[in-house]
Structures are given as C-alpha cells and as structure tokens.
Structure 1
Amino acid sequence: MTAIKNAIVVGGGIAGPVTALALAKAGIRAEVHEAYPRTDRSGAMLTVAPNGLAALETVGLRDRVEAVGNPLRTMIMEKGNGKTLMRLPSLPGLPLSRVLYRADLFDAIRAGAQEQGIVVHDGKRLVGVEEAADGVTARFADGSSATAELLIGADGIHSLVRRLIDPEAPEPEYAGLMSFGFGDLTGAYRPGEVDEMHFAFGRHSFYGYWTQPDGSEVFFSNLPQEEPMTLAEARAVPNAEWLAKLRAAHAGDQPGERMLRAVSADELVLTGPMERMPKLPHWFRDRMVLVGDAAHAPSSSSGQGASLALESAVELARCLRDVDALPGALATYERLRRPRVEEISEQAAKTNNGKTAGPVAKFLFGLMMPIASRTFLQPEKMFGPVHRFRVEWDEKVTA
C-alpha cells in the first residue's frame, strides 16, 4: 500500500513531469502545475549522464531524450592554447551521455509525460499553501487552487516551496562565475569529432567547445566575476559589454580567441550566475517535500544537475510506494538521497575553485594533470561511482 494516493507537483521543468510519471508508476495520481504560460525554454546546453538516462528509462523517456541529444564519447581537457592535457573516454558498458539544449530536454520530457497521461497545468504560479491534517491545498496567483495528500516542490533552485517548508532555508550560493554561451557557430575553429567535447583552462576564464552533428560549433565560457549579480541584473548589461569582457579574458587562448572574434553580441547567450544550493537543514515538512534543484542543485560544473534531479524523482516515488506512513517515506527518501547529492555538489564546488584560480595555479595544474591522468584521474575512478549509479525501481525500499 502506498503512503499516499495523490499529489500536487509544483514545477513543470525537468524534475516535475518525471516525478509525476514515477508516481503514476507507483500507483499515485499526480498533476503538474507550472508557473509560466508554457514550459520555460531559457538556458543553454546541459548533459544527461548515464545515471540520468537510467532514471529516464524507468519512466519510459530514455529513447525520446536520446533521440534529441548528441552523444558524448570523449572529453578532452586542454590548456588555453589548445594543448591536450588528458582524454577522458566514456565508461565501458554504459550508454553515452547526451548533450542537448535545455529547451529540447524540456520539450521531450513534457511531450513524453503527456503522452503517458500526465496532466500539466500551465500558468499556475504558486503563491501559498494551506495545510490540514489530511491534506494540503496549493493556492495559485490566478485565484485557483488544488488539494492533495502531498505537495512536491520541483520548482528549481529559487524554489518557493523550499521557503514554505523552511523560511530560514539558505539561499543559492554564488560560485564566483558568470556563464555565457554561443551556439550554431560555423567555421570558428577546426571542426572536431561530433562526439567529443573540449574543456580548456584559459588564461583568465575556463571555456569549452565542441562540434554538433550539423557541423556547427558551440562555445561556452565561465567568466570569473567576484561581485555577484542576479540574472536580471546581468541581462541589464548590454551584450556588447559582456562580449568585450569575454574577448579580453580569452585573449591569447586558442581556439577561444578565434571563436569570440567570429561572433557578434547578438549571438551571445547569457545563462547567468553559476550557483548551487548549500546543504539544506530540511527537505520536507508535514505534507510538503522537495525534489531536484529545489533540494540539491549542484553547480553546472558537476555535469549532474539534470541527472540528479531525475534520480531523485524516481527515488521519491519508490519511497512513497514502499513505505506506508508518509513521514517515514519522506525521511527515507532524504536519507537515501542526501549523501550522494551533497558529495557531488561539494566536488563541483572544488572544480569551480579551479576555474577561478590565478595564472600561477593554472600553470601548476597543467604540469600536474598529465601525471595525475595516469594515476588517480582515470575515467573509472572519476566517473564510475557517479555514472554507474542506478535507482533500482524493482527493489523494495526499507524504511
């Protein structure tokens, strides 16, 4: 017997519809309520790793996401001048990670969920909740409401549900980096293999680039900036000003300098400040619980934000399926998820420290990496515990 029979899911991005699908598989009816009139299509590109694809397979979405994503076979770490430091091939026995636009991932998940009967209500911005002994009611800005036995906050790193659960919860933590991207460039550098991604420690800014199947190139940069800015504040700065800063930061980098000379300010995509969620004191309270970025957003340096959110969606449904009492189910979910997501988030924070390091530290790092790649920086040791992880749906959860 499940802990609940129905739920409200707040947030229609990545975690929300997958949570509803997993709940349906567990015999729990859930409807998704999204704040925007349509799914948010902002953002640049992200990766769904093998562990994320495994979670998608559980809810019947893996094939759909793989079809719209580009496979990633090898990561190449470089100096800013293009000299290879190490190559990191994908792990044997696992599906290849998929690299895709955030909007394409949203579309694939949304369409797949609706095909499987998940109801998604757009334009439902949560403004408050009313709790009772046997349920919780969500109030929306348009005056409507919804009531169920559980409210699940899948509303992202700036979650309102998180603040409702714990008004003293910490805010997202700025990593000291602003993220920018350019997509669909053509002829800006020598074309590479379509299943390789290059990551370079530039003189003043970490950057990456790769070739897409259509022959166009993609470029991103993590620009160090000490003063934090909100996304709105960053977007108020003219693109031409940001592009000038990027060109100055990548002067002398190859192919970074060439690629930035080949673009215009109109092509710049500002993805905003790189942030992560610090450890939360509480993931749930009474009849409200968090899933995905609302609970455990790592910085994008982890390459795991989407995949961890997908894992948590499946794990939450599994716990609600197998643990009869609601408090016990939510506590078990948090116990199973917290150590893994916090470890990955902490490791990504260390990576960010390397991206903001000065020229001397980067020089020493470049000297050490070829040696490290033959010892402890081997693909299986680096990625095995993360990429080989599975939420075993068919195994019963013990409270």
Structure 2
Amino acid sequence: MSKKTRPRIYDKAGKLVKVEDKSWYALQASGEANQRTIEVFVYGEIGGWGITANQFSQDLRAMDDGVSPVIAAFNSVGGDLFDGLAMHNALARLGERCTGRIDALAASAASVAVCGAHRVVIAANAMMMIHNPWTYMAGDAEDFRKVADVLDQTTEAIIASYKAKAPNIDEVELRRLVAAETWLTANEAVALGLADEVGDGVKVKACLGQGAVLQRYQHAPAELLAQLEAPEEPDPDNEPEDTPPTPPVVDSTKLALMITQRCAEAGISNLVAPLLSSTKLESEEIVQAGLTRAKAVNDLCVAARLPEFSAEYVAAGLDAVAVRARLFDKIVSSGKGFEIDNSLPLDDDTPLQPQAKQPNSGSIWAARKAAHGGKPNTARGAHS
C-alpha cells in the first residue's frame, strides 16, 4: 500500500475514528448491546494494494452478531474487481439489515461492492462511477485474446451486480452507461435504481489524496479533479503543532504497469509477481531499484544454470551478493563443480606473450641430406 495522507473519518457523533493502518479502513460498533450499530468504513483502494475482500469479510464476521444493523460507508476510487465482487456478496448476505452509504465517491469496483447492500444512501454531493473492466498484461497474441475473453466475462459479472440492486433497470441502457464510463450524481444514481435515497451532503475529501489514481479514468469530472488539487485546510483541533511533511502520493497502478513493461522488455516476465511482492509499490525509486536488482539476480541464476531460483530470490529481496553465495552453496552441494565468477581482471595482470620457436639451421640441413641418401643437394649447382 502506498503511503498517503490519512483522512479524517467521523462517526455519527462527530468523534474522530482512528484508523490504525494506512489503508483508511475501520470497523466500529456503537450503542448499547441491544441497540448496536456496526459501521464499516471503506475509505481507500480495494484489492491487493488497499482493502482486501479477505480482510473486509474476516473483520466484519468477527464483529457481526447476526442481528445488529450494519452500515458500510464508501469513499473509494475502486480497485480490484474480484475483491469488489466478494465485498458485494458479503454485504448481500447480511440481508435487510445492511445499508450502503456513499460518503463521497464509489467508483469502479467500489460501485459494485456498495450495490450489494440492501439499501444504498448516497450523499447529495457524492458520485458513483460505473465502467467496463480493464487490465494490463504482457504476452503474445494468443495471451491477449484470452485476456479479452476474460474481460468480456467480467463485464457480465459487473452487469449482474448492478441488476441485483436495480432489477428493473433497462439492460441496454445500463450496458451503454457502463461502456461509456459514466459518472452519476446522487439524483442520477437514484433514478437508475443503483441508490435508494439521497442523503445529506458531507464534507469528505473526494478521493483521499488519490488524485493520481483518478487520472487513469477518461471522463473524471473536472470539478472533482479540481477539488483533489485544492490544498486541505488544517484543523487546529486535530492537527498536532509539529505536523510531519506529507509523503508524496504514489500511483500504485502506474508502478505495477512499469514493472510489467520493463520485465517484458528484459525478458523476465516471470519476475513480475515477485517484484510486486518485494517492492510493495512503495515508490518509483524502490521499483526502479527492484527492477535493476531482479535483472542482476536473473542473470546470476541463468549463469549458474539454476534459473528456477530467480523468482524465489527476487521475492525475498536478495541482492546479487546474497544470491551469488546461495547459488555457490547449491552448486557445490550438487557436485557439479561449476563456479560463478563475475569479478573483473586486475589492472596489473600482464597477459602472457606467446614465444615462437626459433629455427635450427643445422637440423634442417641434416634432414635434407638424409632425404637424398646422404648426398648433398646439387640442384643449386646446375646454374653455376
């Protein structure tokens, strides 16, 4: 998960909800035991670089008593579609006691997830965005054909999720809106049946500092992007006197795409997943260093005729020195007797000069005399 500014998340009483991790995700229960309300705040990216469906489902199960109302509040640019589908189904299983709340933005996978709630309330100044699935990959033409088929199948899953929330929606119109990447206002979402009620507007940072991520969409509203670029006003009641500098916002999708492309160019596409794991997509500098390290590690493994270990060593974050030592141990223990030596020759090493054998005139004359029966060769005397 990239390092971003932690947002202010408030419950009904206006008390600050402290989020302990960097994914802007929290659960809380308020009220007496017999009047308990469970609130889940999904304020961040959905999936491997943010709030995973596994984390969401496990935490919800641990807090849910089977009878209390559950409110799932969303403010997310989206993320992994399959995690969004899993969240959708987790909320749907709660039945009528589940309410989805769009506090600012439910885009992409987040719009799929929130539609799993029995009732959806969208703030008057909030938005919902629906669009076709997209992905990135590297491979040959056949690989791309297979991925296109998968994208078509996942589009059907998206349509089914929206129709589960709005069974009377016109499917032809719904598919047109999804294909066009449509940004819906609160009233438009209610008119389509994807939300049930327009609630009071709330002041929440639109995308929680994820403006760089929002830029990947084609039709993001200009006013929404402008709001992201506006500096946030400090709150003297909640800000400490010495506030540390805000770390730069990192677009994890852009960094993942960089890893995929660079690995394809270097012929090490098998190291994409290990690099995603080892770099954690924390910054462009870390990713660049990881790519350099992965290439060096792969070259060492290939030179040692042990390429099958490259993914393991890259995932572990090992550098060239550590990899060379491990490969040496494996080679010695296998009895192959092969050693990797990447050292450069010393500057004072003088190459050996080949010494030509000097001719022996006496031995040459003796050989010629023997060839003529012991008589001297008189061929030269014919011209005397």
| Larger of the two Rg values belongs to structure | 2
Relative contact order (C-alpha < 8 Å, sep 6+): which is higher?
A: 1
How does the TM-score come out when normalised to structure 1? 0.23
* Structure ranking higher in helix proportion: 2
How does the TM-score come out when normalised to structure 2? 0.23
